Amino acid sequence: MKRPGSRPRILVVEDEAIVAADVQDRLRSLGYDIAGWVDTAEAAIHMATQLRPDLVLMDIMLKSDMPGTEAAQRIRTELHLPVIYLTASSSIQMFERARDTDPFGYIIKPFEEAMLKANIEIALYKHRMEREREELIGKLQVALAEVKTLSGLIPICAWCKNVRNDQNYWQTVEHYVLSRTSANFTHCICPSCEVKFRQDLQRAREKTDVSTPPE
């Protein structure tokens, strides 16, 4: 994971030592750090797992039992790291094979530094947006899971109107609803209760007047 203010760390996967050295020199001149260099697809998966670079620069045609496209796909799906392909092949078959692994870039050798930097910056930006979107989705899922809904039969006392909860304790309707939803209460008096309250108040006053002896 890239730390704020730190330089992006890139893992180089290239089986030609001279080419690999040149690529690393170019990356450093462009302001990137080298997380490591490996020359096989199997080593690429292992190092990506151990080092967790910000990006993997992957040669497709590697001298290993596993093709670079397979390693890139595993790095992408299992480690969720962005991969940019480097290849000397411009064949449509190679491109289609690489495309199906959902890469973040595709650069044909020989390449200019401006092209390399543009691909890297776009890939890092897309990956950052992807992570932020996944984090947002995760937070939304947690929030939705915490939102409790009322459903089914609710046991309520016919006399005091308290509600029995799942632990077999009786609560007021307010506490029951508050513990299961994000709703809140504001207290007021409904028209029917207001009429009843006024009638009771009036009767209380009349009773007080009758019971009070004259001076």
Residue pLDDT, tens place only, 48-59:
999 999 999 999
Report, as an integer, the average pLDDT of 39-46. 93
pLDDT greater than 90 at residue 47: yes
Residue that the structure tokens 């632990």 belong to? 167
In the chain, domain spans:
9-143, 163-211
Q: What is the pLDDT of residue 74?
A: 93
CA distances from 84 to 48, 60, 77, 199 (A): 14, 10, 14, 81
87 membership: H or E segment, kind and range = strand 83-87
- CATH number of the 9-143 domain: 3.40.50.2300
Identify the weakest region by mean pLDDT among 39-43, 44-48, 182-186.
182-186
Question: Which of residues 194 and 57 earns the better pLDDT score?
Answer: 57
| DSSP code at position 6 | P
- DSSP 8-state assignment for residue 156: B
Give 61's pLDDT tier (boundaries 50, 70, 90). confident
Q: Does pLDDT of 207 surpass 80?
A: no
